[in-house]
């Protein structure tokens, strides 16, 4: 299982390299790694949660989940721009992923930003009770299916990409099948894949900025106040600059 976990992480890294660096051969490498990982298309929707997790526990001297909290806690809130992106099920209900991971609460205003949405993914009791023993995914089958969709798009296999997308949006989001066809533009595929990554990986990974950056879509991210900015990259730690013998601040060279 550890080898499959390793290959899953490599597949993610290769997909990121393919998109960040326009590395054509990285798509094939990612496809190979996915085939060696724990990716499965059987047993859905149950197998969507198959994967590796950070383990937490309420036992003495064990680390506890650092994200779970009461609905009236003031630490974590959801940016309201996410709510505007949520797609609806056939009956009009919102994406099941959004419904299961958020709750509407009284408004919280802070430094010019307001929200009425709390994340509750790691809570129990219908989302109202904190669960310090809840595990947090590192990588799971749901993400691998969406990585596979990216790989298939990158390799020009749109039929397979649509199947991968639908396996997640239908089984996890309870949404109708995508309206994409093999004649749809690549950009439309990217939009659909990134939407599903956003909903499927909420409170697991900070994928919104990373995905926008690697697909050249940083301008699509919200700005709340005058003077706010969407940064194009993360600051390289001084220790990383020192290790490379570069002055601080530095921009390490990128290799394919």
CATH of the domain at 48: 1.25.40
User: What pLDDT, on the 0 to 100 scale, is given for residue 253?
Assistant: 72
pLDDT above 80 (res 256): no
Task: Report yes or no on 69 lying in a domain.
Answer: no
Enumerate residues 6+ apart whose C-beta is below 8 A from 86.
94, 95, 98, 199
Mean of pLDDT over the chain:
95
Residue 31 resides in a domain: yes
Q: What number is the average pLDDT over the span 227-240? A: 87
Kindly tell me if the per-residue pLDDT of 53 is higher than 90: yes
- pLDDT value at 137 more than 60: yes
User: 193 in a domain, yes or no?
Assistant: yes
- Does residue 216 lie in a domain region? yes
What was the pLDDT predicted at 135?
97
113-119/136-140 β-pairing: unpaired
Q: What is the pLDDT of residue 240?
A: 86
| Domain contains 156 | yes
Number of domains, the chain = 1
Whether the CB-CB separation of 157 and 108 falls below 8 Å is answered with no
In the structure, what pLDDT confidence band is assigned to residue 238 with cuts at 50, 70 and 90? confident
Inside any domain, residue 191: yes
Q: Are 185 and 216 in contact (CB under 8 A)?
A: no
pLDDT band (50, 70, 90) for residue 254: low
* pLDDT beyond 80 at 149: yes
Taking residues 244-254, report their average pLDDT. Answer: 80
Residue 7 lies in a domain: yes
**Could you tell me the pTM of the whole model?**
0.93
Give pLDDT tens digits for 169-227.
Answer: 999 999 999 999 999 999 999 999 999 999 999 999 989 999 999 999 999 999 999 99
In terms of residue numbers, what domain contains 29? Answer: 2-54+138-220
Predicted pLDDT of residue 244: 87
Residue in the block written with tokens 């490599």: 10
Residue 45: asked if its preceding bond is cis (omega within 30°), the reply is yes
Whether 46 maps to a domain, the answer reads yes
């Amino acid at each position: 299982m550890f080898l499959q976990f390793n290959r899953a992480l490599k597949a993610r890294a290769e997909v990121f390299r393919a998109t960040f660096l326009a590395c054509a051969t990285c798509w094939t490498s990612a496809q190979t790694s996915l085939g060696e990982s724990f990716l499965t298309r059987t047993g859905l929707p149950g197998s969507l949660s198959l994967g590796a997790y950070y383990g937490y526990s309420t036992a003495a001297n064990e680390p506890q989940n650092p994200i779970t909290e009461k609905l009236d806690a003031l630490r974590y809130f959801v940016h309201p721009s996410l709510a505007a992106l949520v797609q609806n099920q056939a009956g009009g209900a919102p994406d099941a992923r959004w419904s299961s991971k958020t709750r509407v609460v009284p408004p919280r205003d802070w430094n010019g930003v307001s929200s009425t949405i709390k994340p509750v993914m790691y809570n129990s009791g219908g989302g109202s009770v904190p669960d310090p023993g809840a595990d947090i995914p590192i990588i799971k089958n749901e993400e691998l299916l969406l990585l596979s969709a990216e790989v298939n798009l990158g390799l020009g296999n749109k039929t397979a990409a649509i199947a991968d997308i639908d396996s997640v949006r239908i089984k996890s989001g309870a949404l109708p099948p995508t309206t994409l066809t093999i004649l749809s533009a690549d950009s439309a595929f990217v939009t659909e894949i990134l939407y599903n990554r956003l909903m499927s990986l909420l409170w697991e990974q900070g994928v919104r900025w990373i995905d926008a950056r690697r697909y050249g879509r940083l301008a699509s991210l919200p700005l709340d106040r005058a003077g706010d900015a969407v940064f194009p990259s993360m600051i390289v730690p001084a220790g990383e600059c020192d290790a490379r013998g570069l002055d601080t601040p530095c921009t390490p060279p990128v290799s394919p």
